[in-house]
Amino acid sequence: MQFIDECVVELKAGNGGNGIVSWRKEAHNPYGGPYGGDGGDGGDIILIGDNNINSLNDLHHTKRIKAQNGENGGTKVSTGKSGEHLYIKVPLGTVAIDFETNEVITEIINIGQTFTICNGGKGGHGNWWFKNPENKVPKLHENGDLGECKKVKLVLKYIADIGMVGLPNAGKSTLVSKLTTAHPKVANYQFTTLTPVLGVCEYKNERMVFADIPGLIEGASEGKGLGHEFLRHIERCSILIHMISLNPDDNMDINEAYDVIMSELKLYQRQIINKPIVVVANKIDCDIDNEQINKLKSHLPNVEIIGISALNSINLEELLEKIYQKYIVQKQQKLAELAKQKNKVVKVVEVKKLPDYSKDIKIEKIDEGIFKITSKYLEYWTHKIPLDTSDNIIRYNQKLKNLEIEEKVKQLGGKRGDTMLIYDNELTLD
């Protein structure tokens, strides 16, 4: 199966249901009072973190996702049923990015974490809502608001404690299969691993998650091969294992093999090389006279190098203990940071961007006697107020009057009887 860690989807929250005009039926009173209920709210679209999935494959094949609309209001002041919220399960480590602006909207990093990415429209009011002492028989009602639409790019960055990097054929897949529950495809040729693999290691009552990052090549930081796609998966790792093969058939120069990977990490994101890094010289059983490992140690005099054979399980216990010690240090640092944050009064609020109801107006003369008028404010109210009752027409005309629409059209040469096109409405200039 193809591994997908990036996709683009169009999201559409549910529209609010419409309010209605209805009357209570009473003897000798044809208008026995307003009785029309409000429309139900449209369903939201909500991202939720799920640790049981590890790719975006399903979403890649679903280009458009739509939540349920709210139902229209009913008689007897009954409110329409709200649309059901639509939950989209995403892997932990998913970043949601606005496709148009390239701004990060949110990151889902915890199991069960939710984020409302598109808000459903509010239901419109029925005529019961408009009742007041001055207007006891209102013929007013509203359409529901439209649900939010967004085009979103989802990018997966794996969440793992330990990320394993190295040139192709360094032996990462073999090592992760020995240390964890993962069972990646293993063979003695380059680029065996084509997708990142997560594995869990239970050691000394700790649960450490390893990420086997596919083999990098020179130029990966510039996107060569599948560089960017793979490099982003190590951004959230606390510890890195840099694996180098001691087999001369795998590397022309063992020192260069080390330098290439470190250079690519630094070029991609400089702070990555500040993470704790365990340098592992694999296939020690191929280096019978220790020539290769001694050469590497001379190149890195201040770096501890652990020689192992992943295939034959040589020195794996020593390596695991070293990783465990670094893991504990990182874990304690994270706990200390969380403790500091708990002492601060921080209110986490899911910020909702308010709709743009700008009253800025654009008037275009598109033909003789025909003017097209656009405005975010008018677009909203043209949808909101259906022109199907006398009271609604009066209310809509009041919105136009507040913006001095007719006066502005006349200033541009409009005459009585000319046509004003305001979205779905075609009105005559007085």
CA-based nearest residue to 319, from 290, 284, 369, 364: 284
Backbone angles phi, psi at 370, to 5 degrees: -130, 125
Confidence of residue 228 (pLDDT cuts 50, 70, 90): very low
pLDDT of residue 77: 95
Is the pLDDT at 194 greater than 60, yes or no?
no
pLDDT of residue 318: 94
Q: In the predicted model, what is the mean pLDDT of residues 218-245?
A: 66
pLDDT of residue 151: 96
Query: How many alpha carbons lie under 13 Å from residue 317 in its C-beta half-sphere?
Result: 0
Q: In the predicted model, what is the mean pLDDT of residues 183-193?
A: 47
For 86-114, write each residue's pLDDT tens digit.
999 998 889 999 999 999 999 998 889 99
| C-alpha–C-alpha distance, residues 409 and 415, integer Å | 8
pLDDT of residue 392: 96
What DSSP designation does 288 have?
T
Whole-prediction pTM: 0.75
Q: In the predicted model, what is the mean pLDDT of residues 291-306?
A: 93
Backbone angles phi, psi at 108, to 5 degrees: -100, 110
Is the pLDDT at 152 greater than 50, yes or no?
yes
Q: Which range has the worst mean pLDDT, 75-84, 118-127, 303-312, 335-344?
A: 335-344
CA-based nearest residue to 128, from 141, 110, 145: 141
Confidence of residue 219 (pLDDT cuts 50, 70, 90): very low
Is the pLDDT at 223 greater than 60, yes or no?
no
pLDDT of residue 225: 39
pLDDT of residue 220: 37
